[in-house]
Structure 1
Amino acid sequence: MVRWCTARRRVRSGRCRPPVPVRLAAVTVVLATVSVLPGGAALAADPPGGYAFARDAQWIEGASGAANAPSLEPGRTYRGPLPRTGTLHYRVELDGASDTYVSATAVPGEGDELTAVDGVRLSVEDADGGTCSSDSASFGAARSPRPVTAWGVRAVSAGGTRCQDAGTYYVTVERSRPQDSPPDPWDLELTVVSEPPPARTGATRAPEAWDSASPGPLTGEPAHRRGGGGFAEATTVGQGAWSDDIRPGQTLFYKVPVDWGRQLYAAAELGGTDSGSGYTTGALRLALHNPVRGEVVDAAKGYTGRGVTAALAPAPPVAYANRYATGERVTGMRFAGDYYLVVHLAAQVADTFGEGPFPLVLRLRLGGTAQTGPEYAGKSVPDGLFELSALERQAAPAGGAAGEDDAAMTVLAVGGIGGGSVLLAGLGVWTAVARRRAT
């Protein structure tokens, strides 16, 4: 073993202690590879290319029945296992005024053999077992392992007859088709958020008319922006064209601040390749998720080795009254905040066209005019979830050419890197101070 001993660095035990910079490097490695969870539990960081779970996720294991269901709290993110069989139960205490949203993101193993109809199912139920809402998400025709997200809501309304009272509610999560599902447990990420009621009663019907025509695609040279590995690590982008590379089996996450009254249009372009020939079903998938992670709309395209584009069908402008409509493409656009664009390239692409990486371009346009949202009678949990910051509004102009908000989005992207960079910067200062002291 290499020893760094000098007379000054020998500790009382007689063992050698490495110099300060070396010790700091070791600390950096440990902090970069371990996520500490509330309650003292720690999990190793997710492998490169895998789903990036929230760093502050609390470990939780669902119960087989309601009697011993663990509690979920609004504003927190949880992580746990999703077994092949059985229904997991969780408990949540709700008031009689706020709307509450729960999401479950299931992450299968990279090598899992999946069916098109397998996936995750989530339900929100009252204390009597009545269903408040339910949703499911499947892997689709591509059958490629990727994160799939289902969401549920307990909504309070003036004419509601079920799930309106304060009290105990239950969240159930299970695989959609366990009999055909892989045997190993999947990873599961759960979120719970709360939306306060409006201070004044507004429209109780969804807008009947909105512009459903797709505008012309944005042109121009795309700016490079590396996609994140999960919802919690999503990279902030705005109107413009953004480039990246993607490998078969990989899923990239981007978040777009969308204000009240704004309308988001998005398309993903996968570049061509000279390697291989054939056809991969549903190879390129693009999906839009709202601020509570509920999927709003998606598009998928097959791949023959030539360039292909997956464009989302237009969704309506963001409006509070959209929640009173039918159809996820309208009801999902019910609040302002950070929307998520999730891009997946099917693992089966590698079988025919190689491991890549393949060039990817994401083109976004924000239509409509920013409006004043509802005046809430309280704060969301977490706070500020359904509103945009001043910087986000500045980075989302009313119109203009592609890439015009690149400078502002660069600031947002750098700011969104998170505490890891702040930690490394602090360690760098620590090292410099230690060196000066040694001198």
Structure 2
Amino acid sequence: MVPGAADGSYPYAFGEDDREIKGASVAGDAARLDPGGTYRGTLPDGATLLYRLDLDATTNAYVSATAAPRPGARVASADGLRVSVQDADGHLCSTGTVHFGPTRSAHPVAAWAGRETGEGGSYLCRGAGTYYALVERRGAAGVSGASSSSGDWDLELDYVTEPGPRGTGDTAPGTWNSAAPEPLSGDPVRRVGGAGFAAARALEQGVWEDDVRPGQTRFYKVPVDWGQQLYATAELADGTGGGDDGGDGGGFVGTALTMSLYNPVRGRVDDAETGYGGERSTTSLRPLPPVAYENRYASEDRIGAMRFAGWYYLAVHLGTPVADRFGDGPFGLTLRIRVSGTARSGPVYMGRSAPGGVFEVTAGTRREAVAGTGGGPGDGSGGGGGPGSGAMKLVAAGGLGTGSLLVLWLGLWTLLSRRRRPRRTG
């Protein structure tokens, strides 16, 4: 048995800047979340945790919670997580729920909720004042605290604010091409995914290869600008997982591989799933609209979630039941990523988001995608983030700014890549 494989004990990679926080059971004790902050805590079994948000009358606020069951946890398909935002009087602004699903496999899942000041938000939640984010475990029949999994879950909170736009009316999303293109072909390039949102491996359009073991979740991120569409396909290679790690090599696992898409505020967009019987198996996200501000007024949640430009995250999970049939792996994983459409200008915001630049795709963002930064601790790649990652950490310790560091690292990455190219003969 590979340590941390089929027992669901792969660790979740929290952000290095996450702050410790303790959720409260009553509103009067709720700790305040700072705009742009990320936090780390625990979600006990049966608890509903509250956190305070201090909001003005014009800013949209989004809270995403990622639950990561601890090593050895067992979950049912109906177990999951719910996030809600309420005003001081208990009026519900919005809520979001996510379940572990038919893989019956413990893995990181994220749900989101928010306070919106436009026509898409609740009328009772448009004023300035104190609001609360509530995070709770869900179980069978949607009952709060009825999770079949005992023990604490690790919890990561992400709090993002979006200023109001200048001169953008509340309009319904326009028509868009909903036909799925042919998946990209070509020789894949290896990129090892990370073990959390903060450690997600950057990808651009292309064909990418990795591997994954039962119980493991790989995180990736793709820049998608205003006016662009994202398509993603995940392919699990044929075979029995290789080696002497158990499994009878027969049968079929109904839901083996799950690919989840999250938007720049870690809000769930959609999922794609596939079974596995030892032969190559593929799943693709349903076609999504081009990124547009007005998507938030759509009646369908997955379209409404495509409301921001920025990094979009893919979380690919291989269910623990695969190990019983086909061994502990690793199993080959191929991602085919297509970003179509010409980038266009987005809304003109009356202020800055927190964190800054979260709803932008800049030249630096695209360089990250080309270089394949990220991965980080817990990605199974020895902590490396690609060529030169060790040098990057040393330089960072010396106190260089982020911009200078990125330029230096990209230069080093290019140099090392050139050295690895075979020389021409003749």
Report what 2:267 is aligned to. Answer: 294
CA contact (8 A) 1:110 1:249 kept: no
Q: Is the 8 A contact 1:316 1:329 kept in 2?
A: no
2:162 partner amino acid: E
Deviations 1:202-252 (A, max 9, x none): 352222x11111000110000000101100010100100000011110000
Distance 1:211 1:152, change over 3 A: same
For residues 285 and 85 of structure 1, do their structure 2 counterparts lie closer, same or farther at Cα, with a shift above 3 Å needed? same
Hey, what's the Cα distance between the residues in 2 that align with 1:59 and 1:306? 44
Q: Of 288, 308, 313, which aligns to 1:340?
A: 313
Mapping 1:11-30, distance limit 5 Å: none
Q: Which residue of 1 aligns with 2:394?
A: 424
SS in structure 2 opposite 1:231? coil
- For residues 264 and 213 of structure 1, the distance between their equivalents in structure 2, rounded to whole angstroms, comes to 12
Worse overlay, 174-183 or 299-308: 174-183
CA distance, structure 1, for counterparts of residue 298 and residue 396 of structure 2: 49
Of 234, 241, 258 in structure 1, the residue corresponding to residue 207 of structure 2 is: 241
Alignment pair present for 1:59 and 2:20: yes
Q: Distance in 1 between matches of 2:253 and 2:392?
A: 42
Q: Using a 3 Å threshold, how does the CA distance of structure 1 residues 391 and 58 change in structure 2: closer, same or farther?
A: closer
Output the CA distance in 2 between the equivalents of 1:322 and 1:382: 22
Summarize the Cα distance change of 1:426–1:325 in structure 2 as closer, same or farther, 3 Å threshold.
closer
Instruction: Map residues 400-411 of structure 1 onto 2, 5 A cutoff.
Output: 409-411=369-371
The yes-or-no answer on 1:138 pairing with 2:93 is: no
- Report the CA distance between 1:161 and its aligned residue: 1.8
Contact 1:214 1:314 in 2 (8 A): yes
Structure 1 CA distance, aligned partners of 2:178 and 2:392?
Answer: 43
Residue in 1 aligned with 2:283?
Answer: 310
Aligned to 2:173: 206
Report if the CA contact (8 A) 2:9-2:72 is conserved: no
Deviation at 1:166, TM superposition (A): 0.8
Q: TM-score, normalised by structure 1?
A: 0.80
Rounded to whole Å, the distance in 1 between the matches of 2:68 and 2:390 is 24
- CA deviations on 1:36-86 (whole Å, 9 max, x unpaired) are xxxxxxxxxxx9941101111111111111111111111110111101012
- Match of residue 265 from structure 1: 231
Q: Amino acid of the residue matched to residue 202 of structure 1?
A: G
**2:377 equivalent to 1:413:** no
Question: Which position in structure 2 is the counterpart of 1:19?
Answer: none
Secondary structure, counterpart of 1:67 in structure 2 = helix
Q: Structure 1 residues 158, 329: closer, same or farther in 2, change over 3 A?
A: closer
Check if 1:358 corresponds to 2:331: yes
- Post-superposition shift, 1:255? 0.4
Distance in 2 of aligned mates of 1:206 and 1:426: 43
* Whole-angstrom distance in 2 between the partners of 1:250 and 1:49: 6
Normalising by structure 2, report the TM-score: 0.82
1:169 to 118, 123, 131: 131
**Equivalents in 1 of 2:110, 2:147: separation in Å?**
19
Offset from partner CA, 1:324-380 (integer Å, 9 cap, x none):
111122100001000001100001111110010000000011112211101111110
Equivalent AA in structure 2 for residue 238 of structure 1: E
Q: 1:391 to 1:424 in 2, by over 3 A?
A: closer
Letter of the 1:413 partner, please give it.
T
Aligned-partner Cα distance in 1 for 2:397–2:134: 43
Answering whether residue 119 of structure 2 is matched by residue 149 of structure 1, we say: no
**Alpha-carbon displacement from aligned partner over 1:150-169 (angstroms, at most 9, x marks no partner):** 10010001585210011100
The answer to which of 211-220 and 102-111 deviates more is 102-111
Give the aligned residue type for 2:198: A
Over the aligned positions, Cα root-mean-square deviation in angstroms equals: 2.2
Cα distance between partner residues in 2 of 1:106 and 1:274: 30
- Name the CA distance, whole Å, in 2 between partners of 1:284 and 1:378: 41
Q: Is the deviation greater in 104-113 or in 196-205?
A: 196-205
- The aligned residue for residue 187 of structure 1 is 154
Aligned pair 1:196/2:163, yes or no? yes
Aligned identity (percent) is 51
Q: Distance in 1 between matches of 2:326 and 2:185?
A: 27
Distance in 1 (alpha carbons) for counterparts of 2:287 and 2:265: 19
- Alpha-carbon displacement from aligned partner over 1:243-301 (angstroms, at most 9, x marks no partner): 00111100000000000000000000000114611111211111110000011111111
Query: Residue 420 and residue 89 in structure 1: after superposition, are their counterparts in 2 closer, same or farther (change >3 A)?
Result: farther
Say which one has the larger Rg.
1
Contact persistence 2:207–2:337 (CA under 8 A)? yes
Greater relative contact order (CA < 8 Å, ≥ 6 in sequence): 2
SS for the counterpart of 2:28 is coil
User: Partner letter of residue 264 of structure 2?
Assistant: P
After superposing on structure 2, the runs of 4+ consecutive aligned residues of structure 1 that deviate more than 4 Å are 414-421, 425-428
Aligned length: 369
Displacement of 1:190 after TM fit? 0.4
Structure-to-structure mapping, 1:320-331, within 5 angstroms: 320-331=293-304
Listed as ranges, the gaps of 5+ residues in structure 2 are 1-7, 140-144, 242-248, 377-384, 399-426
SS at match of 1:232: coil
**Structure 1: which amino acid aligns with 2:156?**
E
Q: 1:293 is matched by which residue type in structure 2?
A: R
Structure 1: stretches of 5+ with no match in the other structure: 1-46, 396-407, 429-439
**Which residue does 2:69 correspond to in 1?**
108
Please say if residues 240 and 329 of structure 2, whose CA atoms lie closer than 8 Å, have aligned partners that are also in contact: no
Name the counterpart of 1:384.
357
Q: Secondary structure at the match of 1:146?
A: coil
